[in-house]
Amino acid sequence: MFGFKNKEDESSLQVPKHIGIIMDGNGRWAKTRMQPRVLGHKAGMEALQEVAKAASRMGVQVLTVYAFSTENWSRPEKEVKFIMNLPVEFYDRYVPELHRQGVKIQMIGDVDRLPAATSDSLRRAEELTADNQGMILNFALNYGGRAELTKAVQKIVKQVQVGALEADQVTDQVISSHLYTGVLPEEVRDPELIIRTSGEMRLSNFMPWQSAYSEFYFTDTLWPDFDAQSLEEAVQEYNRRNRRFGGV
Ligand code: FPP
């Protein structure tokens, strides 16, 4: 149950259909505890499963989590290796319970370039949960928004070249359907709310197209400390915003 302080808040609360999260601050979280950075990522994975369960209970339809960007390969090899193993651990420890909750796991990004064990775990999770009707937990892994747009443009240009599409038939909708997020149901492709933790205030190549009308919520909380209560606060803040989509 969504734990609002009073009934009024709860009944009038609008839950965003799609929430995107830029999970930042794992390294700093570990540093404040004088632990190696990788332990911050491990704690980040635990926060992720808690927040995913809370979002699913709340009625969120899609939760996209930015787990690894195309730029993250420049990190020390040991750290990259550790992060790449997290989906394997996530599959064993957390996917069974998410599956019982009806959560459907999907992924976006250049998944073919991930280590085989990483992509195998994610594919197994996708297959296991393919028929679930609950929240979609969408992993953005080896994801970059500009690369996503570039790929979409290449696919569309090829269709124009073979005469399957006229140039003036290339609409917003056509572009949207050719992005990685084109695999999501059309009405929930774009996040209404994007959360970034750890005090950073930028998108870092996360969903540049899809975020055109998103509300942004920035918090100083480091990702491993972000929990169900933090999510609730973000959704309450979202409800205080006045979304006009360019109108009055
Ligand atoms: C950014 O924090 C975080 C990441 C690059 C990795 C995020 C990954 C997880 C939270 C776990 C994902 C789990 C699965 C199953 C894939 P940072 O390291 O940049 O933190 P810093 O800015 O404090 O250094």
Please identify, by atom number, the ligand 1 atom nearest to the C-alpha of residue 42: 11
Q: How far is the CA of 196 from the centre of ligand 1 (A)?
A: 12
**What are the pLDDT digits (tens) for 81-122?**
999 999 999 999 999 999 999 999 999 999 988 999 999 999
Q: Is 165 among the domain residues?
A: no
CA distance 115 to 113: 7
Atom of ligand 1 nearest to the CA of 45: 11
When divided into structural domains, the chain yields a total of 1
CA distance 108 to 65: 10
CB of 43 sitting under 6 A from ligand 1: no
Residue 223 in any domain: the answer is: yes
150 assigned to some structural domain? no
* Number of the ligand 1 atom closest to the C-alpha atom of 223: 10
Please check whether residue 153 lies inside any domain of the structure.
no
Residue 216 has pLDDT above 70, yes or no: yes
pLDDT tens per residue across span 156-215? 999 999 999 999 999 999 999 999 999 999 999 999 999 999 999 999 999 999 999 999
The CA-atom distances, in angstroms, between 88 and each of 41, 120, 132, 221, 238 are 14, 8, 21, 26, 33
**Per-residue pLDDT band at 5 (split at 50, 70, 90):** very low
Ligand 1 neighbour 204 (Cβ under 6 A): no
| Dist. CA 135–CA 61, nearest whole Å | 5
pLDDT at position 109 is 97
Which string of b and e fits 133-155 if b means at least 16 CB within 10 Å?
ebbbbbbbbbbbbebbbeebeee
Domain membership of residue 118 (yes or no) is: yes
105 domain residue, yes or no = yes
Ligand 1 centroid distance, CA of 117 (Å): 19
DSSP 190: S
Domain residues for the domain of 82 are 16-144+188-239
For the chain, what percent of residues have pLDDT higher than 70? 93
Q: What are phi and psi of 91, to 5 degrees?
A: -60, -45
The CATH number of the domain holding residue 229 is 3.40.1180.10
57 domain residue, yes or no: yes
Cα(164) to ligand 1 centroid in Å equals: 41
**Residue 167 lies inside a defined structural domain of this protein:** no
Of 200, 233, 191, residue with least CA distance to 24: 200
Give the ligand 1 atom nearest the CA of 47. 10
* Structure tokens, 169: 């038939």
To test the pocket of ligand 1, the residue of 26, 97, 98, 195 to mutate (highest count of ligand atoms within 8 Å of its CB) is: 26
pLDDT, tens digit, 9 for 90 and up, residues 19-60: 999 999 999 999 999 999 999 999 999 999 999 999 999 999
The CA distances from residue 101 to 17, 57, 68, 134, in Å, are 18, 9, 25, 7
Ligand 1 and 155: CB distance under 6 A: no
Candidates 38, 83, 89: which one to mutate for ligand 1, based on the most atoms within 8 Å of Cβ? 83
Q: What is the pLDDT of residue 247?
A: 76
User: Taking 80 as the threshold, does the pLDDT of residue 10 lie above it?
Assistant: no
Nearest by Cα to 149 from 127, 113, 181: 181
Question: Quick one: pLDDT band at residue 143, thresholds 50, 70, 90?
Answer: very high
**Dist CA 224 CA 42 (whole Å):** 9
Residue 246 has a pLDDT of 75
Would you name the residues annotated as active-site residues? 24, 72
CB-based burial, 213-245: b 16+ in 10 Å, e otherwise: ebbbbbbebbbbbbebebbbebbeebeeeeeee
